[in-house]
Chain A
Amino acid sequence: MSFQILLNLFLAFLWMFLSSNYSVSRFIIGYLLGILVILALRKFFKSRLYIDQLWAVVKLTILFIKELILANISVLKLVIQPKLQLQPAFFKYDTVLKEEWEITLLSSLITLTPGTVVVHVSDDSKSLFIHVIDSNDIDETIDSIKNSFEKAILEVSRS
């Protein structure tokens, strides 16, 4: 992954030196050509293509924005009810993520989607303790959301 980015930068600089024109546009052209070369020779790399990983990050961002809007609308529906019929609850969510940044990202995503707040990470970093605003019917949907987030994060970190 990092080797591929370095190689791509090296190819871009090489393109600049070959054309002896040291401008930003030249560099960008060289970089795009480098992407093409790396795509063509993807069988030589043992790890994934970094463009693939970048695409996973973009997909995760789009998913997050979508979930943010949907969850805000659902919380709005809860708030403007004439009679509050909320059942707040804590529940434990077992995660399969291991890295620090993965757990932090997942917790931030869960916290930023309204209705759920991560209050604690267990000492062995294997489960998150989540406070949910309404446990009546949301438990299953929330679990599906978590699976979508967790899947997307795993998609990013897959080597």
Chain B
Amino acid sequence: MKINNVILQFTAKIVFFMIFFYAVHIFFAGHYTPGGGFVGGLVTASAIVLLIIAFDLKTVQSILPINYIYLIASGLLLALGTAGIAMFTGKPFFTHFFDYFNLPILGKTSLHTAALFDLGVYLVVVGVTMTIIQTIGEDE
């Protein structure tokens, strides 16, 4: 018995992109305004969960063939690497660097290694949330 969920599925397809864009916005807003890697990761995971609710687990896995365990590992590696770079320059562990660069389109932009650390946090949060939900969902 398959129910016709045309309204939910179509709306989920559209809203997924909106939620994902909001997550990216909130991730980059983290330095000066509320937001950051943790909230951005949770919002991204919620967008994928919306897809899982509208379709089903196997479909979403075939659309987004991501192994979330690897995502956790790469996020941890990125965070650790960002923290460890400073040790090679003789500074203490976890020293962050930042500078202002003139990028071609964006103009004067401040690039900070804390953003890379935040990206690691983001990947770990997405990976952990999706792993939990998938392992619970796959339990037949």
Contact = CB atoms under 8 A, between A and B. Distances in A.
A107 interface: yes
Interface of B: 2-4, 6-7, 9-11
A122 B3 CA distance: 8
Contacts of B10: 100-101, 103-104
A145 B3 CA distance: 27
Contacts of B3: 123
A123 B4 CA distance: 5
A104 B7 contact: yes
Contacts of B6: 100, 103-104, 121, 125
Interface residues of A, number: 13
A125 B11 CA distance: 16
Contacts, number: 25
B105 to A, nearest CB: 12
A123 B2 CA distance: 8
Nearest to A128: B7
Contact of B4 (A108, A118, A121): A121
A107 B2 CA distance: 20
A108 B10 CA distance: 12
Interface string A117-138: 0101111110000000000000
Contacts of A124: 4
Contacts of A103: 6-7, 10
A80 B78 CA distance: 62
A101 B6 CA distance: 9
A124 B2 CA distance: 11
A24 to B, nearest CB: 14
Contacts of A104: 6-7, 10-11
13 contacts: A100-B9, A101-B10, A103-B6, A103-B10, A104-B6, A104-B7, A118-B7, A120-B4, A121-B7, A122-B4, A123-B2, A124-B4, A125-B6
